[in-house]
Amino acid sequence: MSLRFLNTYSREVEDFIPLDPAGKAVKMYTCGPTVYNHAHIGNFRCYTFEDLLQRHLQARGYEVDRVMNLTDVDDKTIRGCRAEGIPLNQFTARYKQAFFDDAKTLRLLQAASYPAATEPENIARMIEMIARLLDLGIAYQAEDRSVYFRIARFADYGKLAHLNLEELRPSGRIRSDEYDKESIGDFALWKAWDEADGDVAWEAPWGRGRPGWHIECSAMATRLLGDEIDLHCGGVDNIFPHHEAEIAQSECCTGRKFVRYWLHNAHLLVEGQKMSKSLGNFFTLRDLLDKGYTGREIRYVLLTVHYRLPLNFTFAGLDSARSALGRIDEWIERLAEHAGAVAPEPTPLSEHREHFFAALDDDLNSAGAMGHFFDLVRESNRALDQNALTQAQSSQLVADWQRMNEVLALEPDSEVIPGDVLALVNAREAARRAKDWAKSDQLREEIAELGWAVKDTKEGPKLTRLQRHA
Ligand code: AMP
Ligand code: ZN
């Protein structure tokens, strides 16, 4: 069975057939962050879904060429750099780095490239595309000197969002002379310089200014991936106008169908409410790390809800992620111990692995896939309890886990135990050898305060991260 995706464009589940005649190479474009602050976990829901998509495509043998852009010029980045009195690129460099650090914490695969809007070759491509749209009479320069896309010239405008174009036309309530644009739905391709832009500007044949956000993505996607691409993703809030505009600009310039499959993730909510700064329920990844949660736990929460369903983020959810991961760790440790160095032999339990991947084939049903995975955990634990697994079968199940984990990336942190924790553990061992139980208990508490639980086993002390509450 091939992969199937719900295509936002058709609203139908479609078989995935890449453009590549050999059916191997896949071109994927993902709208990246606007680098004016730390991305919030809602943004990371989007990037984690895209990571799962890339990993599953790779697991199914596709070669994925993925581009993720960085929006490093817009109103917010300009406002930010001017407020701090530093150059735009110095301001955005900080948040680009923060984004890459966070992506690493969440174990997101790297894209093949991360073009930034302000790179000269990208600006040049934007200018080239706008010039073409002006030549074709699809774009026009308004009295405010900005250049706009005339949506009336693109018959398919509104198709992605399934919008009625009439709704975008000025109604009687709006005086059209308040607008420089011909139509209220026309969007800016190039924004003429004004004072609020300071020294952020580029020269174009039609005057000084800066590109609009939508043309940035059309230019970078077509420059790096070609006129036609297989997959384009983002959050649902990007469908309109951003992705609608990307289609209009790209297809008018190239005369080709821009994207074959559009995939959009639903939003992340916090404790049932929309995440917003004003409600005080706005979390960056760092906020959660500061509360003692790990990237792995946050990844688990973001991964395990189907990407098309709203994800209600709660601290209780993070705590259950911690216990679910604890279960996985115990299971895999137990299997590996049982398997020893014996070579794998087939076991009927491996069918859960097949079901796991089949669920992902079905529009990336990660919740279903996790259901099959936990069936495997439960049944193989039972089989181990009943001595019903051979070592070779356990070895096969370890291999199955490794394959599933190429998509999940949920292996334990190679828990680098901090030096101060290690020193306390060693001191506690010395106290235990001296049978100083009071001291040993006190040290156990000190270790707990640093976020670690110590368990005494035959092989010596074992450390695990402690569950900590918000
Ligand atoms: P932005 O930096 O605002 O352009 O957002 C980057 C990506 O995150 C876009 O694809 C958005 O659609 C997505 N996004 C923004 N907010 C949320 C949210 N609360 N839940 C899920 N995705 C989001
Ligand atoms: Zn975009």
Peptide bond into 241 cis (omega under 30): yes
Peptide bond into 346 cis (omega under 30): no
Q: What is the DSSP annotation of 109-145?
A: PPPSB--BTTSHHHHHHHHHHHHHHHHTTSEEE-TTS
Q: Which residues contact 430 (CB under 8 A, 6 or more apart)?
A: none
Maximum average pLDDT range among 153-167, 232-246, 270-284, 411-425: 232-246
Question: Using one digit for the tens of pLDDT, what is the confidence trace for 362-373?
Answer: 999 999 999 999
Residue located nearest, by CA, to atom 2 of ligand 1: 33
Question: Using one digit for the tens of pLDDT, what is the confidence trace for 36-75?
Answer: 999 999 999 999 999 999 999 999 999 999 999 999 999 9
Q: How many Å from the N-terminal Cα to the C-terminal Cα in the chain?
A: 44
The average pLDDT across 159-174 equals 70
Rounded to an integer, what distance in angstroms lies between the CA atom of residue 452 and that of residue 470?
Answer: 16
Decide if 463 contacts 451 (C-beta within 8 A).
Answer: no
**Ligand showing the shortest atom-to-Cα distance for residue 42:** 1
In this prediction, residue 342 has a pLDDT band, given cuts at 50, 70 and 90, of very high
Question: Using one digit for the tens of pLDDT, what is the confidence trace for 96-117?
Answer: 999 999 999 999 999 999 999 9
Rounded to an integer, what distance in angstroms lies between the CA atom of residue 293 and that of residue 469?
Answer: 9
In this prediction, residue 145 has a pLDDT band, given cuts at 50, 70 and 90, of very high
Question: Backbone phi, then psi, for 232, in 5-degree steps?
Answer: -135, 130
**Could you tell me if the CB of 239 is within 6 A of ligand 1?**
no
Give the helix/strand (H/E) hosting 221: helix 213-225
- Going 403 to 407 to 409 to 410, the CA torsion angle's sign is negative
**Could you tell me if the CB of 245 is within 6 A of ligand 1?**
no
Portion of the chain with pLDDT greater than 90, in percent:
85
**Could you tell me if the CB of 268 is within 6 A of ligand 1?**
yes
**Could you tell me if the CB of 234 is within 6 A of ligand 1?**
yes
Which atom belonging to ligand 1 lies closest to the Cα atom of 39?
2
Candidates 30, 38, 40, 43: which one to mutate for ligand 1, based on the most atoms within 8 Å of Cβ?
Answer: 43
Residue 177 has pLDDT above 80, yes or no: no
In this prediction, residue 415 has a pLDDT band, given cuts at 50, 70 and 90, of low
Decide if 140 contacts 148 (C-beta within 8 A).
Answer: yes
Which atom belonging to ligand 1 lies closest to the Cα atom of 238?
12
Which atom belonging to ligand 1 lies closest to the Cα atom of 311?
20
**Could you tell me if the CB of 159 is within 6 A of ligand 1?**
no
Decide if 77 contacts 36 (C-beta within 8 A).
Answer: yes
Rounded to an integer, what distance in angstroms lies between the CA atom of residue 332 and that of residue 455?
Answer: 18
Portion of the chain with pLDDT greater than 70, in percent:
95
pLDDT score at 242: 98
CA of 106 to the centre of ligand 1 (A): 16
Question: Backbone phi, then psi, for 216, in 5-degree steps?
Answer: -55, -50
CA of 206 to the centre of ligand 1 (A): 32
Vertex 55 angle, CA 50 and 61, to 5°? 130
**3 state DSSP class of 270:** strand
The average pLDDT across 324-331 equals 97
In this prediction, residue 175 has a pLDDT band, given cuts at 50, 70 and 90, of very low
**Ligand showing the shortest atom-to-Cα distance for residue 232:** 2
Sheet containing 63-68: give its strands across: 63-68, 25-30, 229-235, 259-265
Q: Which residues sit opposite 28 in a β-bridge?
A: 66, 231
The average pLDDT across 192-201 equals 96
pLDDT score at 413: 85
The Cα-based distances of 193 to 14, 75, 287 in angstroms read 44, 12, 37
Rounded to an integer, what distance in angstroms lies between the CA atom of residue 234 and that of residue 99?
Answer: 16
pLDDT score at 259: 98
CA of 116 to the centre of ligand 2 (A): 12
Question: Using one digit for the tens of pLDDT, what is the confidence trace for 371-397?
Answer: 999 999 999 999 999 999 999 999 999
CA of 363 to the centre of ligand 1 (A): 20
pLDDT score at 451: 82
The Cα-based distances of 147 to 189, 332, 359 in angstroms read 6, 59, 46
Candidates 96, 214, 237: which one to mutate for ligand 1, based on the most atoms within 8 Å of Cβ?
Answer: 237
**Ligand showing the shortest atom-to-Cα distance for residue 274:** 1
Residue 170 has pLDDT above 60, yes or no: no
Vertex 55 angle, CA 353 and 393, to 5°? 25
Residue located nearest, by CA, to atom 9 of ligand 1: 235
pLDDT score at 173: 46
Structure-token pair, residue 407: 């998509």
CA of 12 to the centre of ligand 2 (A): 22
Question: Using one digit for the tens of pLDDT, what is the confidence trace for 233-283?
Answer: 999 999 999 999 999 999 999 999 999 999 999 999 987 887 876 777 889
Residues in the chain: 470
pLDDT score at 244: 98
Candidates 46, 239, 277: which one to mutate for ligand 1, based on the most atoms within 8 Å of Cβ?
Answer: 46
